[in-house]
Chain A
Amino acid sequence: MLAVIDLSIATIIIIIAAFSLFSRKILSSIIYFIAFGLLVSLAWIRLGAPDVAIAEAAIGAGLTGALFLATWKRLQRVKAPETGEAASSIVLPLSISLLSLLLTAFVVGSIFNSVSSAGLASLVNETLPQSGVSNPVTAVLLNFRSFDTLLEIAVLFLTMLAIRALAIDFAIVQVNIKSSIFLQGILALVVPLSIIAGAYLLWIGSSEPGGAFQAGAIWAGALVIMQLANIKFLFRLHNNGLLSIGLGVFIFAAIATYLLTGSVLMYPADQAKFWILAIETAAAVSIAFILYELFCVSHSSVETKPAVSVAHDRMATEGANKS
């Protein structure tokens, strides 16, 4: 009986994905994609993966959607309006479709006789008490396979560097959202709540679903909202120290544990929880600021000055020319 829920979730996921992939307008594709991400996170919950569900909702649906929307908005200014896709021959799409359907059929057929190994669940459960945390996903990420996570933070960091190196003029455009009592009220509620929610997820990550990535993603969301609403912060948000502290602390921990125990990221006995929490906190801060930076770059504009001051300058030069 329970499979009815899963069948309907799966059907809706496929339908929304089809809308996202094959709708004519890009904007509706992106909006369907965000809805798709939220539905997929429901599927993750049904499959007993709440950690993945939180990350999917915050990063997969939220931030990826925001990135796509920001880029789409900017392309509107770059490109001539859409003229529709050029009609192409039907033969290639048809043959590709048949090929991929065959591939799908092959794959579906193979699953029913391929999965026979017991997986690593028992191994994880056996060694969980020594890992310092009681959430098995956090234990895998930051203890058993912490080297992978170190490299993952490095990937994030490198992406940020690569995007900066593309030299898309890095200037933040101030969006001219009229400040209203309504907007201020919403922000006063949403921003502190997401900061607290992120901190909670970071702390609870050692025993319950949550952790550095979910916390970082939610903080990044708060930063993006503040950016869109044009709120000034206490310090400059594009801070190189904050961007690199996660990778820095992780590498420092790798060296320190090597000196202490003789192998990289093998925490000293009974201190595992301290090490994991220290690394996670630094990583969450960096993840938040790197994701925010990624958003800002796609959202920035060629103009190096805010639109208002450009207009102001233009008026000033015109005035100078007249006189």
Chain B
Amino acid sequence: MSVDSIYFITGAILFGMGFIALVIRTNLLHRLLAVNIMGVGVFMWFIAGAYQHGATDSVPHALVLTGIVVAVSATAFALALLLKIHLAENKERPS
């Protein structure tokens, strides 16, 4: 079993597990974590694909770097929305 196929399969499993959790978990924080893990599964595909061609391919690496930064922006925005939803439903009590 070659190195890249190990990570191809891992990425596919991560995506699948993340998708299952996205559907069956009801807490929004859990769902957001699930989306992040699905994203890592996709990144793993890119990097494993770059590894295949003897010399590693830098273009997918650059794409994944961009992807990581965009993922953290999207997560931060989603967390702010999530906070807003909870604040609309409940009042914050001072700590």
Contact = CB atoms under 8 A, between A and B. Distances in A.
Nearest to B66: A152
Nearest to B10: A10
B68 A67 contact: no
- Most chain B CB within 10 A, of A36, A52, A67, A78, is at A52
A303 to B, nearest CB: 6
A56 B73 CA distance: 14
A189 interface: no
Interface residues of B, number: 78
B40 A40 contact: yes
Interface string A90-128: 001100110011011001100110010011111011000
B69 to A, nearest CB: 6
Interface stretch (A42-50, A247-255, A263-271, A315-323): A42-50
Given A10-B6, A59-B69, A121-B55, A96 B23 contact: yes
A246 to B, nearest CB: 12
A260 interface: no
A298 B80 contact: yes
Nearest to B31: A21
B14 A14 contact: yes
Interface stretch (A26-34, A180-188, A227-235): A26-34
A152 B13 contact: no
Nearest to B95: A77
Contact of A49 (B55, B56, B84): B56
A17 B14 contact: yes
Contacts of A30: 29, 33
Interface in A63-89: 63-64, 67-68, 71-72, 74-75, 77-80, 85-86, 88
Given A60-B68, A74-B83, A298-B83, A47 B16 contact: no
A142 to B, nearest CB: 9
Given A78-B90, A149-B66, A115 B52 contact: yes
Nearest to A290: B73
A6 B7 contact: yes
B68 A56 contact: yes
Interface in A200-218: 211, 213
A159 B92 contact: no
Nearest to A128: B58
A228 B59 CA distance: 37
A166 interface: yes
Interface string B52-65: 11111111111011
Given A64-B72, A120-B59, 5 more contacts: A26-B27, A51-B65, A93-B20, A100-B16, A302-B87
Interface of B: 1-10, 12-21, 23-27, 29-30, 32-34, 36-37, 40, 43-44, 47-62, 64-66, 68-77, 79-84, 86-87, 90-95
20 contacts: A3-B2, A10-B7, A33-B36, A46-B3, A47-B7, A49-B50, A68-B79, A72-B29, A75-B86, A77-B95, A78-B91, A79-B86, A88-B24, A104-B13, A121-B56, A141-B65, A159-B74, A213-B68, A294-B76, A298-B79
